[in-house]
């Protein structure tokens, strides 16, 4: 594997005057990409190898690389720096940020996160930010919040179990997730008129979102936070960002902290009361969504990405089902 990696990265490393790379360490946390720490006696770098898709081969690479370039131009340095990319091999070279995962959430960390989002959006009306694409799974209306979850529900409705484990997933979906989805969707339809559900949010209500945002993509060094992984970044509803921050299953955010994040972010935006109301209404929908996200490995189109990242085995599949069941029990059951 390392021999193949060396051949694959030799050109981009030499192009950037990185020679005698003698250490290749793979990070085990990426579920979609291969992320490697490359080292020589002088320094360390990150090589990220993105999954290959026929219709948008370089989409994630270019999205993340360009987004980080814009942040650098705006004087935001608590993120990796984009160095170079190789479109043919679908990989990019970034600076390495030393540090560790956050062990315990505190008020200071929430303040740093809010400041990071604020800095990004301080310049959101500049041309480069305006030309950014939509964030992945972006929601520009209540209807799109519903559709964002409905799409994942449909994937599991069409699941045809081929073995015992897949049968267990399907039964969990049929008996727990799907009825909960129906209930939560009905609540939205009861709380809002059809016009309100279909109405698109104004441009000034939207934000530039890192997307897939939470403590799973944050590194801490000397009590300072650094942010990574922006391949899904773009324009989105702030309520969607808040929901994903709250719902992220790898880090349980206590209610006092997610309330601070929700109110801290919404008060910097127009119609802040509507944003808070929207979060409270769509949060249960996104809880259902995350039950499905935890089971992504069982959907055929996602298996290729997981295999690429080295994140697919029977043990992993069993663990993801267990995590989804626990997540449902704690947050929805």
Residue 311's pLDDT band, with cuts at 50, 70 and 90, is low
Report whether 91 contacts 61 (CB < 8 A): yes
Helix 255-266 and helix 107-122, axial crossing angle in degrees, nearest 10: 20
What stretches of 209-271 show up as alpha helix (H) in DSSP?
A: 238-247, 255-266
The CATH code for residues 101-331 is 3.90.1200.10
Q: Tens digit of pLDDT for each residue in 161-218?
A: 999 999 999 999 999 999 999 999 999 999 999 999 999 999 999 999 999 999 999 9
Write the CA distances from 178 to 103, 147, 212, 281, 328, integer angstroms. Answer: 34, 14, 23, 18, 12
Neighbours of 179 (CB within 10 A): 11
Q: List the chain domain ranges.
A: 2-98, 101-331
pTM, 2 dp: 0.91
The CATH code for residues 2-98 is 3.30.200.20
Q: Cα 233 to the chain's mean position, in Å?
A: 8
Cα dihedral 107, 112, 113, 115 in deg (nearest 10): 120
Of 45, 86, 95, the closest CA to residue 68 belongs to 95
Q: Tens digit of pLDDT for each residue in 86-134?
A: 999 999 999 999 999 999 999 999 999 999 999 999 989 888 888 899 9
């Amino acid at each position: 594997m390392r021999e193949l990696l060396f051949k694959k990265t030799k050109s981009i490393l030499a192009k950037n005057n990185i020679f005698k790379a003698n250490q290749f360490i793979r990070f085990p946390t990426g579920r979609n990409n291969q992320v490697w720490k490359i080292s020589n006696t002088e320094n360390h770098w990150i090589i990220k190898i993105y999954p290959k898709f026929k219709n948008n081969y370089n989409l994630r690479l270019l999205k993340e690389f360009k987004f980080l370039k814009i942040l650098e131009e705006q004087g935001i340095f608590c993120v990796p720096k984009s160095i170079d990319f190789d479109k043919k091999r679908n990989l990019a070279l970034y600076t390495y940020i030393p540090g560790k995962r956050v062990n315990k959430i505190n008020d200071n960390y929430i303040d740093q996160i809010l400041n990071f989002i604020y800095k990004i959006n301080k310049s959101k009306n500049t041309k480069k930010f305006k030309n950014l694409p939509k964030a992945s799974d972006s929601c520009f209306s209540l209807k799109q919040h519903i559709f964002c979850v409905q799409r994942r529900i449909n994937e599991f409705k069409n699941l045809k179990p081929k073995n015992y484990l897949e049968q267990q997933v399907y039964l969990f979906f049929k008996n727990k997730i799907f009825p909960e989805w129906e209930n939560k969707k009905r609540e939205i339809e009861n709380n809002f008129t059809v016009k309100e559900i279909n109405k698109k949010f104004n441009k000034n209500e939207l934000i530039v979102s890192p997307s897939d945002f939470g403590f799973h993509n944050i590194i801490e060094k000397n009590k300072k936070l650094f942010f990574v992984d922006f391949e899904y970044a773009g324009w989105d509803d702030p309520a969607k960002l808040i929901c994903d921050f709250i719902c992220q299953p790898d880090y349980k955010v206590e209610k006092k902290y997610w309330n601070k994040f929700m109110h801290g972010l919404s008060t910097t935006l127009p119609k802040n009361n509507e944003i808070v109301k929207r979060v409270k209404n769509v949060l249960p929908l996104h809880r259902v969504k995350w039950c499905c996200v935890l089971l992504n490995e069982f959907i055929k189109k996602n298996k290729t990405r997981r295999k690429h990242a080295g994140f697919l085995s029977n043990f992993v599949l069993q663990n993801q089902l267990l995590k989804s069941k626990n997540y449902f029990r704690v947050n929805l059951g």
